[in-house]
Amino acid sequence: MTPTPSAAPERPIRRVRLVHTKADLAKARAGLPGRVAVVPTMGALHDGHRANFRRAREAADAVVATVFVNPLQFRPNEDLDRYPRTLDADLAMCEEEGVDLVFAPSVAEMYPDGREGLTAVHAGPGGEILEGASRPGFFTGVLTVVAKLFHLTRPDAACFGEKDFQQLAMVRRMVRDLDMGVEVIGVPTVREGDGLARSSRNVFLSAAERAAALAIPRAIGAAQASPDPLAAARQTLEAEPGLAVDYVAVRANDLGEAPAQGPARLLIAAKAGTTRLIDNAPVVVGHTAIGDAR
Ligand code: PAF
């Protein structure tokens, strides 16, 4: 009789461990060796997250990813319901990147008593500008869930993308103010070939909206080539009728007032159709900077 071909895979499949409850997370976390880095995400993972996983792997002996679309950081008119949820694909990326443990809790697991009367972490005044001005309550939602995820995963380090520059700054500040003892690592923005920053929301863009969205990396390029980065970015964004600019600002790198001269950060938020996009990049006020977007 002809032997049946073996169904065994050609390469060993390394199964990333997936847990959904805090109790299972605690057990799995206890078995992780050495330094642990966490990468908090809302799933719909892309190459920006991949860069975070790789940086986390460099910073620690074990990597934990969290996948949780946090309702606390969405306002009623925002895209909570349509936010992409792609757990199978997310797990495949975690596996490829050697993530040791994935925590993907339900909303009830994270907020068993609901939102009413919830104890929360409030951002200081830095949380009221830019994203905080456009999306009131956003940073309370982000900092509260990040604080909970830190307590649950007990990391030595945590990686966040620089694309959410203000979020990164607010998390750093929370860790300092609340003595959380976590090393916060910022990971440079990953861009598509055409310069658009990778984002889980890019999948919502139609071809025309995506073409309009490219005014954002163009504005960054113009700002970096100009001694007046704010004016150059504004001019480029305003020339694109398919984009509704929410804010364009130049701030100090700690998000305080922009310096009269020297290194600073350009931050942009704009809507293409119904999709809100944010981006940021280093600029130099009074000189030109080396560009990182097209
Ligand atoms: O950047 C995100 O994906 C989220 O804001 C975070 C940090 C995972 C908190 O929900």
Residue range 183-235, pLDDT digits in tens:
999 999 999 999 999 999 999 999 999 999 999 999 999 999 999 999 999 99
Catalytic position from the list 20, 49, 122, 287: 49
pLDDT at position 291: 59
Instruction: At 175, list the tokens.
Output: 């860790």
Report residue 74: phi and psi, to 5°.
Answer: -115, 135
Q: Is the CB of 131 under 6 A from ligand 1?
A: no
Kindly list the domain boundaries of the chain, sorted by start residue.
Answer: 17-187, 200-285
Q: Is the CB of 142 under 6 A from ligand 1?
A: yes
Torsion of CA 79, 141, 52, 61, to 10 degrees: -140
Cβ(59)–Cβ(185) below 8 Å: yes
Q: Is the CB of 40 under 6 A from ligand 1?
A: yes
pLDDT at position 293: 57
49 is catalytic: yes
For 17-187, the fitting CATH number among 3.40.50.620, 3.10.20.600, 3.60.21.10, 3.40.50.720 is: 3.40.50.620
pLDDT at position 223: 98
| In CATH, 200-285 is 3.30.1300.10 | yes
pLDDT level of residue 288 (50, 70, 90 thresholds): confident
- Exposure b/e, 53-80, CB count within 10 A at least 16 = b: bbbbbebbebbbbbbbbbbbbbeeeeee
Question: What is the number of alpha carbons within 13 Å of residue 30 lying toward its C-beta?
Answer: 5
Residue range 103-121, pLDDT digits in tens:
999 999 999 999 999 999 9
Query: Looking at residues 78-104, what average pLDDT do you find?
Result: 96
Residue range 22-48, pLDDT digits in tens:
999 999 999 999 999 999 999 999 999
Instruction: At 178, list the tokens.
Output: 């609340």
- Ligand 1 atom at shortest distance from the alpha carbon of 164: 1
pLDDT level of residue 14 (50, 70, 90 thresholds): low
The alpha carbons of the chain give a radius of gyration, in whole angstroms, of 20
Q: Taking 70 as the threshold, does the pLDDT of residue 56 lie above it?
A: yes
Ligand 1: centre distance to CA 13 (Å): 29
Q: Terminus-to-terminus CA distance in the chain, angstroms?
A: 63
Ligand 1: centre distance to CA 140 (Å): 12
Q: Taking 80 as the threshold, does the pLDDT of residue 261 lie above it?
A: yes
Mean predicted lDDT score pLDDT of the chain: 94
pLDDT at position 15: 79
Q: Taking 70 as the threshold, does the pLDDT of residue 10 lie above it?
A: no
- The residue whose CA is least distant from atom 8 of ligand 1 is 41
Ligand 1: centre distance to CA 142 (Å): 6
Give the predicted TM-score (pTM) of the model.
0.93
Smallest Cα–Cα separation from 197: which of 174, 221, 229? Answer: 221
